[in-house]
Amino acid sequence: MKRLAAALLLLFLPGCGFRLPWPAGHEGPPEFQLHSPERLVVMAPHPDDEIICCGGLIRRVLAERGEVDIVYFTEGDGYVEGVVFELRQSQPKPELFVEYGEWRRRESIAVLTLLRLPEKRAHFLGFPDGGLREIWERHFSEQHPYESRTTATAHVPYRHSVEPGAPYSGIELQGLLRQLLHDLKPTLVVLPDPRDQHGDHSATGLFALEAFHDYAQAEESHPNARVLTYLVHWPGWPGPSAQPPLLLGPPADLSDAPIDWVSLPLTAAESADKLHVLHVYKTQVDVMGPFLDRFYRANELFGEFREDPPPEGLVLSPLAYQRPKPKPH
């Protein structure tokens, strides 16, 4: 694929959107090429991450008559600041965190409605917000499920989830992901970069990558299934938003190995639509609106592995894809 030239002129044509040049002397990532039609599965740690990373990609896949499914690992029920702000409780009890999770789920359904996706395309796993990294590291066994610090439960408390009452264990989560990939048979899976500095994001990437590896090796998988990564949390990144939106590039201090960055250019209308949809998540805009607005950009940025599928046990510093040995309880 051709790389974007560093000296691209600003284009602003009716119906064609705009493109801003990459910094002088820097060659931008190549443009990501969709296959048509795609069966896209987005792995989201929390409700809103699917739009932050992939709002434009989702619209593009649907416009090309593809299919989109979103897997929500958590309901965002561990965000203490959000619960305190929205529910006006300085010391919220566990049931209020569950209520907040239900609220965020309803926001997700409203987002799907805007995207013209049926509710059945949302798959809520109901695992603990703020606990995914600990589950990966110390609670893989069903004999020692993780107990949420906010909802005070060690099992999925939501009736609408894929598996109500499922234990908060890594083996259970891995099984749910394998089954979903088996059922959905995606051609493209988008998951968090395991180097993301948020524990839920890094662990979602680790769990999803392991499940994708199993899926890609299975006989019933799509022969050309691909995986992309996305980044949300990194120190000092992304920079402030601007009008018109700037191009989103990778952090300067983040090593590329073993991935290559790719870019999905967005039209002006696609960028504006993404911001509009993101603001449907009122609970998040209320407490972290300026951060969300930083993803109002002229493109979406993804990581593409140099091997397809990624090799099992791959290490991507500073986090290892390979699950650590269980620690004694």
Residue 133: what are its φ and ψ, rounded to 5°?
-65, -40
β-partners of residue 316 are 319
- Mean pLDDT over all residues of the chain? 86
The pLDDT, as a whole number, for residue 259 is 85
Question: With 90 as the cut, is the pLDDT of residue 329 above it?
Answer: no
| Tokens at 3, concatenated | 């790389």
- Residue 252, amino acid: A
Q: Which residues contact 243 (CB under 8 A, 6 or more apart)?
A: none
Average pLDDT over residues 183-198: 95
Alpha-carbon distance 195 to 199, whole Å?
Answer: 9
Q: Write out the H or E segment, with its range, that includes residue 287.
A: helix 282-293
Complete domains list, the chain, with CATH: 33-320 (3.40.50.10320)
| Mean local confidence (pLDDT), 134-144 | 94
Tokens 């395991």 — which residue? Answer: 194
pLDDT digits (tens, 9 = 90+) for 215-240: 888 777 777 789 999 999 999 999 98
- Sequence-distant contacts of 98-103: CB under 8 A, at least 24 apart: 98/151, 98/157, 98/158, 100/76, 100/283, 101/74, 101/75, 101/76, 101/77, 101/126, 101/129, 101/151, 101/158, 102/75, 102/158, 103/283
Range in 34-38, 48-52, 274-278 the model is least confident about: 34-38
Residue 316 tokens read as 């991507």
- Give the pLDDT score at 217: 81
Which of 1-15, 28-42, 58-72 is predicted with the least confidence, judged by mean pLDDT?
1-15
CA distance 199 to 61: 29
Give the CA distances from residue 76 to residues 33, 35, 103, 126, in Å, rounded to whole numbers and listed in that order.
32, 32, 9, 9
Q: Is the pLDDT of residue 12 over 50?
A: no
Q: What is the model's pLDDT at position 290?
A: 94
CA separation for the pair 107, 152 (Å, rounded):
23
Residue 299 exposed, middle or buried by CB count within 10 Å (0-12, 13-18, 19+): buried
271-311 pLDDT per residue, tens? 999 999 999 999 999 999 999 999 999 999 999 987 765 65
Contact 318, 248 (CB under 8 A): no
Tell me the C-alpha distance between 315 and 294, whole Å.
Answer: 29
Confidence band, pLDDT 50/70/90 cuts, at residue 73: very high
For residues 92-114, one letter each, b for 16 or more C-beta atoms within 10 angstroms of the residue's C-beta and e for the rest, the string is beeebbbbbbebbbebbeebbee
Q: Residue 322 pLDDT more than 50? A: no
Q: What is the pLDDT of residue 59?
A: 97
Q: Check residues 290 and 325 and name the one with the higher pLDDT.
A: 290
**Concatenated DSSP letters for 216-278?**
HHSTTS-TT-EEEEE---BTTBS----SSPPPP---TTS--TTEEEEEEE--HHHHHHHHHHH
Alpha carbon 302 to its chain centroid, in Å, reads 11
Q: What's residue 164's pLDDT?
A: 98
Res. 90 pLDDT band, cuts 50 70 90: confident
**Predicted pLDDT at 22:** 55
User: Which of 165, 162, 197 lies closest to 69 in space, CA to CA?
Assistant: 162
